[in-house]
Chain A
Amino acid sequence: MSLSASQLWLIPALPLLAAAIGALTPRGGKKLAAGAALVALAGAFLLSCGALVGALADPSRHLVHNFAWFDLGAGTVRLGFLLDPLTALMCTMVTFVGLLIFIFSTGYMHEDANFTRFFCFLSLFAAAMLGLLVANSLLLLFICWELVGVASYLLIGFWFHKPEAAAAAKKAFITTRIGDLGLLLGMLWLYDATGSLLFFDGGKGVLESAALASLAGQVTAGGLAVSTAIGLLILCGAVGKSGQFPLHVWLPDAMEGPTPVSALIHAATMVAAGVFLIARVYPLMAADQALAAVPVHALSVVAFIGAITALLGAVIAVAQNDLKRILAFSTVSQLGYMMLALGVGSWVAAIFHLLTHAFFKALLFLGAGSVIHAAHHEQDIRQLGGLRGPMKVTFITFAIGTMALAGVPFLFSGFWSKEAILHAAHGWSVSHLPFYIALVAVVLTAFYMTRLVMQAFFGRPRSHAAEHAHENSAVMTGPLVLLALCAILLGFLGTPYWPWLQRTLDPTFKADAGGAGLMVLSIVLVAFGLGIGWAIYGRNARTSATAPDPLEVRAPGVWAALGDRLGFDAFYAATVFKLNAGAAALADALDRYVWGGAIRLLTRLGEFAGVVHRETDEDVLNGGFDAASRGLRSGGDSYSKAQTGDAHGYLRAVGLGFVVIVLVVMLGGGR
């Protein structure tokens, strides 16, 4: 069975239907809501496999189905669906990982009062994410992109009665929206410059050569090519969504959401949407590569942002004590690797790492969820310990995930995908700096993961919760086992010896031999990281929950700074928040004092003019008449003096203005 582009809409439509069912199901209908979500996602998985079959028939083609959304001017605004290996592989991954996480959630969220709502939001997320993947239009992608953001908002804030969760949800939405405004402007610019937002449209799409040549050929402010400027604006959106420096601050806070949400959305899929976006519009990002006389290439910015983020995330992860936050910063760091790969020109390596990361990071988060569920929501690694005995399945699968993430050689998928990225970074002609940064991050990754595993699973239990932890039911361990298998097997789809994945994504991909030296280097670095981790945290296991960290003892200042996430949040609070509050205060003050004051002044003037007007009226024009009727008027005068309302005087001013304008019109314009 293979799916064509015109049937692709079914993939997001199924979970959307499940979301609607979930929204209308009363709280008691747990089975119905979860069942609908599972069946719909399973259906979407099968359809995605069909799409994969369809796409693999000829990987070099972009099959599209475009349609009119609404009329605009002489034309229409069109949207479309796109079927190519990138879309199909991503859909298959999202539906498969999603399905496992949905299954896990039925166990994890079992006792939650809002169980049905949870599956409604999860399905909404899946629908939006899949819509984003199948879009053949930047506009449709943007629509789904924002919907994904809302689903993420709803799920981070799922326990909305907790103030931290409510605040984290808002922070995530606002921070990503800052990036999204850049994306919006980039999209508007692209639309204005090309008259289309369709990616592929029989030669007229924005990712096809005619549009790209025109975009790269125009120069805008600062000597940038228009394609560079648009690319950088689009990058803003990706930076926000994928938690890249400097907009990474929301992602660790997003861990306030239930752990399956962290696994699905804030590790495996949604946060990778930024990477997917750049990969999708890669021809546009790379359109300026041939130009020599430009100040900066879009992809170079991508590479440096990626490298900085890879290091930043890894450094901060070292000093975190919350199980999920360590993993969250690790996600930030790994997404940085993917961006780095995109920037140095190897978008296939980025997608390879995206896919392997999705599996092993989902595995790690679900493993963390398993621990948290068993340890009565204790997620501080200092309080855990000794879990490897009572939670064997969780421990073994978590260890596999750890080795995949750390890049332990040969058997684990993360090794191969990270290797591909390092290889690409090494060959980048612009600068070697990102490559060296990435190597440092390799050591750190192996180190902080060892620290995590040693403290959580080895040693003795250091709290009541950890002592009484026991393995979860099969509905939770089953997905762990399947994900662990994938965390191993997936790597073999993209080894340098058989780069099937790379060739599928990009038929022009050339496997490049050599790089054995590099591979040895990275193996040494991983071993180094694991070794130090073991030396510090494994040899002398932590004995009490309150003892300071060995590194803290050695460098308390650095440790505190890292624990404080290098002060980004405080910095933003002192700058961006202040500016924002200042703008609000200014807007309010303008209203109160300037415009309000002007109105008050106008009223006074009006009153004054009204008095003058009345005096003129009474003394000059009506003097004689007044004399006769003074007696009559005196009552009226006293009444009018009692009218002290500002508006009264204002009306007089209006009357005066009326007279003046009529005079002007009659003398000047009324010829």
Chain B
Amino acid sequence: MNAPLLSLIVLVPIAGAALLGLLRQAQPGTVRSLSLGLSLSTLAFGLFALRHFDPAVTGPQFVERHVWIGALNVHYYLGLDGMSLLLVLLTGIVSPLALIASWRIAENARLFAALFLGLQGAALGVFLALDFVHWFLFWELSLVPAFFLIKLWGGPGAGRAAYQFFVYTMGGSAFLLVGFAALFVATGTLDFLQLAQLARDGTLAAKLGPVGSPAATFVFLGVLLGLAVKVPLWPFHTWLPSAYAEAPAPVSMFLTGVMSKMGVYGFLRLLWPIFPAQLHAVATPLLWLALGGVVFGAYAALRQTDLKRMIAYSSLNHLSYCLLALFAVASAAGPKPAAEAAASALSGALLQVFNHGLSAAALFYAVGLLEARSGGKRGIGDFGGVRTAAPIFAGLTGIALFSSLGLPGLNGFVGEFLIFRGVFGLAPWAAAVACFGLLATAIFLLTFWQRVFHGPKAGATLAGFPDVRGLEYAVLVPLVALMIILGLLPQLLAGLVNPLVSAWAGQLVLP
């Protein structure tokens, strides 16, 4: 590899954002095609990386590592493994579609596109950076464009929601920063892989203190809190419904499709490898919290009348499955690891990350279309009979909806099945309780479907509801096609991450 592929992946969107900032005189058409092209670069580079990626190698590939701040042992360090690749591809798929979805936004399109590309680049940086400073830079950087995208283009409550989102996540990040500062004081390195190695060979415990010691506990809890807010882990989720609901639909697509994955990624890249023993010690209570997210997330969604809030809660529910899987694995780590169950749970979590990105983005887009066609209405009682008026829209939304509720044959099932299979092997009672989440999910999604799409035409539908047209196909069809393809051929994703996940599961043995 001669070209710095990973730098290109991260920096092209960011450079594009800067470029858009400079092009003051650009026509809207130019802004659109330019920003779409720049956004699509991620997918192009991602597919290129996919071609040259060797799934059997479990360490980082396409590595770029240069000294950045020598005195602090900080490196410019990018690397890509199966998990990163999955997320880069997801970003590459969701971002351009969200950008296309944003084209109905007339005001200040150039600023929107610039912020959006900045957000995209920051998220990619998070998925590829392997040095804490490098990583944290992007982690924080992502908040700024997200804040303005929500605040400036959001709904009536957007100001407050954006503020809450920013402060809450920022607050979490502060603890994360402190935790890593302490780690640096103790070990002199900020390299994730080195830290994980130190954790494995016991050096970390020797330097920072054993599990349960105040220092180690504070550091661990700091990192945990920072990540828990981001995913979010129930009950640190209260920023999520309003942020997702008030953001404009394209931004919600990105927030749930990509940004919510940053937290899960952090759990798998930072927390678990560096603090396996600490995580093991508190895994059972955390498992309860994840279950809380699964069950209460779904039941809270059942109660929402605002469709965007409903899908937002559904995201909480779906991402909690990922955490459930991780905590089940962490709780079970011991002398007799159930390696197959662990591999299943972790595989499932990664597939769920990808699949949820597709289905949630599609559902937010669908709600956005409902909103756009009804003059801003998105209450569950504001519509009726949309399927009569717009059968194709109904069909495509219906597939996304069934994907989200985990229908076999569509993508969502595979991840959830693997998570359940793994969790059942490690903590059977948790799998049983989580079934209530599955049930409630089916109820609220079908209620959504019934109230909005079925029955006689009513409410906002009466004034005329055009079917999918033009560019709207360009957003919905690729997502739906992927749902079907990945549902039938999960090997396309599983093949990328399975060796990595098997290696993780193989390292489970703890003293």
Quick one: CB contact mask for A251-267 with B, threshold 8 Å, 1 for yes? 00000000000000000
- Asked if B477 is at the interface of the complex by the 8 Å CB criterion, the answer is no
Report chain B residues within 8 Å CB of A666: 185
| Of A72, A146, A668, most B-chain CB atoms within 10 Å | A72
Q: Do residues A185 and B171 form an inter-chain contact, with CB atoms below 8 A?
A: no
The chain A residue with its CB closest to the CB of B236 is A595
A443 CA to B369 CA, complexed, in Å: 57
Q: What 0/1 readout, one digit per residue, does chain A (158-193) give for beta carbons within 8 Å of chain B?
A: 001111011101100110011001001100110110
A72 touches B174 (CB 8 A): no
Q: How far is the CB of B453 from chain A (nearest CB, A)?
A: 7
The answer to whether A657 and B175 have CB atoms under 8 Å apart is yes
Question: At the interface, yes or no: B95 with Cβ under 8 Å from chain A?
Answer: no
B214 with A664: CB separation less than 8 A? yes
The answer to whether A621 has its CB under 8 Å from any CB of chain B is no
Q: Once the chains are docked, how many angstroms separate the CA of A71 from the CA of B174?
A: 39
**Cβ-defined contact, A665 with B498, below 8 A:** no
Interface of A is mostly: helix
Residues of A within 8 A of B457 (CB): 161
Task: Tell me whether A647 is interfacial, beta carbon within 8 Å.
Answer: yes
Closest Cβ–Cβ distance, residue B495 to chain A (whole Å)? 6
A618 close to chain B: CB less than 8 A: no
Contact B214 A587 (CB under 8 A): no
Residue in contact with A163 in the complex, picked from B171, B425, B439, B456, CB distance below 8 Å:
B456
- Contact B435–A184 (Cβ < 8 Å): yes
Q: Name the residue on B nearest A647 (C-beta).
A: B167
Tell whether, in the assembled complex, residue A669 and residue B296 are in contact, meaning their CB atoms are under 8 Å apart: no
- Given A668-B215, A670-B186, does the pair A584, B302 have CB atoms closer than 8 Å? yes
Chain A residue nearest to B425 in the complex (CB):
A192
Q: A73-B340, A595-B238, A661-B178 are in contact. Are A189 and B446 (CB under 8 A)?
A: no
* A598 vs B238: C-alpha distance when bound (angstroms): 10
Interface contact B491-A71, CB-CB below 8 Å: yes
* Interfacial chain A residues near B347, Cβ < 8 Å: 72-73
Q: A71-B495, A173-B446 are in contact. Are A669 and B344 (CB under 8 A)?
A: no
Judged by a CB distance under 8 angstroms, whether B101 is at the interface is no
B contact patch SS: helix
A599 at the interface (CB under 8 A from B): yes
A72-B418 in contact (CB<8A): yes
- For A661, the chain B residues whose CB sits under 8 A away are 175, 178, 182, 218, 222
User: Is B157 located at the chain interface by the 8 A CB criterion?
Assistant: no
With A147-B407, A670-B215 as given contacts, are A587 and B299 in contact (CB-CB < 8 Å)? Answer: yes
Q: Is A75 an interface residue (CB 8 A)?
A: yes
**When A160-B387, A167-B450 are in contact, do A185 and B432 touch as well, CB less than 8 Å?**
yes
Mask for B460-486, Cβ within 8 A of A = 1, else 0?
Answer: 000000000000000000000000000
How far is A433 from B222 in the complex, measured between Cα atoms in Å? 64
Q: Which single residue of chain B is at the shortest CB-CB distance from A74?
A: B502
Chain B positions 378 through 415: 1 when the CB is less than 8 Å from some CB of chain A, otherwise 0? 00000001011001000100000010000111000110
Bound together, the chains give a CA A170 to CA B214 distance in angstroms of: 53
Q: Which of B300, B436, B502 contacts A73 (CB 8 A)?
A: B502
Query: Contacts A650-B171, A665-B215 given: A142-B181 contact, CB under 8 Å?
Result: no
B182 touches A665 (CB 8 A): yes
Q: Is the CB of A587 within 8 A of B505?
A: no
Residues of B close to A173: CB separation below 8 A: 442, 446
Which residues does chain B contribute within 8 Å of A189, judged by CB atoms? 424, 428
Contact status of A665 and B185, CB under 8 A, knowing A188-B421, A587-B296:
yes
Tell me whether B87 is interfacial, beta carbon within 8 Å.
no
Judge whether B424 and A185 touch: CB under 8 Å: yes
Q: What per-residue 1/0 map shows which CB atoms of B150-168 lie under 8 Å from chain A?
A: 0000000000000110110
Q: Is B440 an interface residue (CB 8 A)?
A: yes
- B295 cross-chain contacts in A, Cβ below 8 A: 583, 587
- Please tell me which one of the listed residues B219, B343, B425, B491 contacts residue A665 in the complex, with CB atoms under 8 A apart: B219
B189-224: which residues lie under 8 A (CB-CB) from chain A?
207-209, 213-216, 218-219, 222
Distance to closest chain A CB from B464 (angstroms)? 16
The chain B residue sitting closest to A181, CB to CB, is: B435
Which residues of B have CB within 8 Å of A191?
421, 424
Instruction: Identify the closest chain B residue to A661 (Cβ).
Output: B178
User: In the complex, which residues of chain B have a beta carbon less than 8 angstroms from the beta carbon of A671?
Assistant: 186, 207
**A70 interface residue, CB < 8 Å from B?**
yes
Q: Which of B298, B303, B425, B455 contacts A161 (CB 8 A)?
A: B455
Q: What 1/0 mask marks residues of chain A from 91 to 123 whose CB sits below 8 Å from any chain B CB?
A: 000000000000000000000000001000000
User: Could you tell me if B181 and A665 are in contact, using CB atoms closer than 8 angstroms?
Assistant: yes
> Within 8 Å CB of B166, what residues of A?
647
> What residues of chain A lie closer than 8 Å to B175, measured between beta carbons?
657, 661
- Enumerate chain A residues within 8 angstroms of B447, measured Cβ to Cβ: 170
Question: Which of B297, B298, B302, B494 is close to A71, meaning CB atoms less than 8 Å apart?
Answer: B494
How many chain A residues touch B (CB < 8 A): the figure is: 70
Per-residue 0/1 for B427-457: is the Cβ within 8 Å of any A Cβ (1 yes, 0 no)?
0100110011011101100110110011111
Indicate if B501 sits at the interface (CB-CB under 8 A). yes
Q: Name the B residues within 8 Å of A162 (CB-CB).
A: 455
Complex CA distance for A431 and B402, rounded to whole angstroms: 44
Q: Please, how many angstroms separate the alpha-carbon atoms of A169 and B442 in the complex? A: 13
Q: In the bound complex, do residue B408 and residue A146 qualify as a contact, i.e. CB atoms below 8 Å apart?
A: yes
The smallest beta-carbon distance between B429 and chain A, in angstroms, is 11
Interface presence of B339 (CB below 8 A): yes
Contact B494 A72 (CB under 8 A): yes
Q: How many angstroms from the CA of A161 to the CA of B440 in the assembled complex?
A: 24
CB–CB A70/B491 < 8 A: yes
Given A173-B442, A586-B299, A669-B186, residue A73 in contact with residue B343 (CB < 8 A): yes
Least Cβ–Cβ distance between B157 and chain A, in angstroms: 14
Distance in angstroms from A645 CB to nearest chain B CB is: 7
In the assembled complex, B59 has its CB within 8 A of some CB on chain A: no
**Contacts A74-B502, A188-B424, A587-B303 known; A181 to B453 CB distance under 8 Å?**
no
Contact A192:B341 (CB < 8 A) given known A70-B494, A585-B303:
yes
Beyond A70-B494, A73-B343, A668-B215, whether A658 also contacts B174 by CB under 8 A is: yes
Residues A157 and B408 in contact, CB atoms below 8 Å apart: no
Query: Would B439 and A590 count as touching, CB distance under 8 A?
Result: no
Nearest CB of chain B from residue A87's CB, rounded to whole Å: 20
Residues 121-154 of B contacting A (Cβ, < 8 Å): none
Collect the chain A residues with CB atoms within 8 Å of residue B163's CB: 645, 647
* Contact B435 A71, beta carbon cutoff 8 Å: no
Give the chain A neighbours of B339 by CB distance below 8 A.
73-74
Report whether A72 and B182 are in contact in the complex, using a CB–CB cutoff of 8 Å: no
Chain B residues with CB under 8 A of A75:
340
What residues of chain A lie closer than 8 Å to B214, measured between beta carbons?
A: 664, 668-669
A583/B440 contact (C-beta < 8 A), A166-B455, A651-B167 known: yes
* Residue of A with least CB distance to B409: A147
Nearest CB on A from B175, distance (A): 7
Using CB atoms, name the residue of chain A closest to B449. Answer: A170
Are A142 and B440 in contact, with the CB atoms below 8 A? no
B424 to chain A, nearest CB (A): 4
A295 interface residue, CB < 8 Å from B?
no
Q: Does B170 contact A (CB under 8 A)?
A: yes
Assuming A177-B439, A645-B163, is B185 touching A670 (CB within 8 A)?
yes
Residues in A38-80 with C-beta less than 8 Å from chain B? 69-75
15 interchain pairs (CB within 8 A)?
A69-B491, A70-B498, A71-B491, A71-B494, A74-B502, A117-B391, A143-B409, A161-B385, A161-B456, A163-B456, A174-B442, A192-B421, A651-B167, A661-B182, A665-B178
Report which B residues bind A (CB closer than 8 A).
163-164, 166-167, 170-171, 174-175, 178, 181-182, 185-186, 207-209, 213-216, 218-219, 222, 235, 237-238, 241, 295-300, 302-304, 339-341, 343-344, 347, 385, 387-388, 391, 395, 402, 407-409, 413-414, 417-418, 420-421, 424-425, 428, 431-432, 435-436, 438-440, 442-443, 446-447, 449-450, 453-457, 489-491, 494-495, 498, 501-502, 505
Apart from A192-B428, A587-B300, A669-B215: 6 A-B pairs, beta carbons within 8 A: A23-B395, A143-B408, A161-B456, A583-B440, A599-B238, A669-B213
4 smallest A-B Cβ distances: which pairs?
Answer: A669-B215, A73-B343, A166-B454, A143-B408
